Amino acid sequence: MTVVQVDTEVTTGSPPPPERRRRGVPKSLWNALSVVLGVGVWWGFSLTGFDIPAPPEVLKRGGELIADGTLADDVLASLGRVLAGFVLGVALAIPVGFLMGWYGVARGLLEPWVQFFRTIPPLAIIPLAVVLMGIGETPKIFVIFLASFLACVIATFQGVVNVDKTLINAARVLGAKDGTIFARVVVPASTPFILVGMRVGLGSSWATLVAAELIAAQQGLGYRMQSAQLYYDLPTIFVGLISIGVLGLLMDRVLLLAERRLTNWQERR
């Protein structure tokens, strides 16, 4: 009979040190790499026969527009229109969305109209806006306002109706009145939805800008791009596109920062 001897190891010492957290590549480096790759692809297309200007050509044209002050004037004009329409749209969308989500009567009265106008592109409102409001700044700001309002009101409404009913019932059991429940439960729980709606509304505002500046504009990035189209001035069109993209990205990052500060109680990946 064979006896199998098993040696046992007695561990005497401190537990093994915890594994070091592996540091990943910073997000900013990935962003920079993405930009470099994007410019490289763009440059490659311009060299392979596609009728688009190369990055140096667009950079040169951008420098010329900056030097004579044209780009700064256009940026200020477009930014003013977008901010005015966007702020007005959000300021009205949030209370309307809360009313629709919290009160059944308001939902029944307002939701059909919101859904109706949501299916109509804001660009289709331009002819009516010109007839009713003239050719000044008002119709331009109005169509941008409409684009941001419709995106944000739906997000706010969804945020209110998606609040966990258990939280509301628990607050009522503890004796909280409707006003307290709304301020302490519904508003915080809806904030992530509202901020997402604001980001979507901001994108819609910039997307509507070019068409809004069709209305007898004399300055603006959209106006400059449309004027350049008549002369087949592709570098100027690209300067306008890049300017809109950069401004929209910076404004979106501001909203993203606000979202992180206001919803830091949420778990994130």
- Weakest-pLDDT range from 8-22, 160-174, 224-238, 239-253: 8-22
Helices (H), 48-136: 55-67, 70-102, 104-118, 126-133
24: in domain: no
The predicted structure's pLDDT at residue 265: 64
Asked if residues 173 and 117 have their Cβ atoms less than 8 Å apart, the reply is no
Sign of the CA dihedral with 130 first, then 90, 247, and 242 last? negative
50 vs 61: which has the higher pLDDT: 61
> What's the domain range around 94?
55-262
30: in domain: no
The predicted structure's pLDDT at residue 84: 94
Hunting for tokens 């059944």 — which residue is that?
104
Taking alpha carbons only, the member of 208, 238, 212, 209 closest to residue 225 is 238
Taking alpha carbons only, the member of 72, 41, 68 closest to residue 55 is 41
Region 162-167: what's the mean pLDDT? 83
Backbone phi, psi, residue 130, to 5°: -65, -40
Tokens of 73: 């004037």
The predicted structure's pLDDT at residue 217: 77
User: 163: Cβ–Cβ under 8 A, 6 or more apart, which residues?
Assistant: 185, 186, 189, 190
Region 253-262: what's the mean pLDDT? 86
238: in domain: yes
Region 194-210: what's the mean pLDDT? 89
Region 169-191: what's the mean pLDDT? 84
3-state secondary structure of 4: coil
88: in domain: yes
> For the chain, how many structural domains are there in total?
1
Each residue's pLDDT tens digit, 55-93: 899 999 999 999 999 999 999 999 999 999 999 999 999
244: in domain: yes
> Is the model's pLDDT at 2 over the cut of 50?
no
> Is the model's pLDDT at 14 over the cut of 60?
no
> Is the model's pLDDT at 9 over the cut of 80?
no
127 vs 8: which has the higher pLDDT: 127
Taking alpha carbons only, the member of 118, 181, 180, 126 closest to residue 153 is 118
257: in domain: yes
> Is the model's pLDDT at 13 over the cut of 60?
no
4: in domain: no
161: in domain: yes
User: Residue 185 sits in a domain of what CATH number?
Assistant: 1.10.3720.10
3-state secondary structure of 31: helix
Crossing angle for the helix pair 137-161 and 70-102, to the nearest 10 degrees: 40
pTM score, whole prediction? 0.80
Tokens of 189: 């729980």
Q: Output Rg (C-alpha) for the chain, integer angstroms.
A: 27
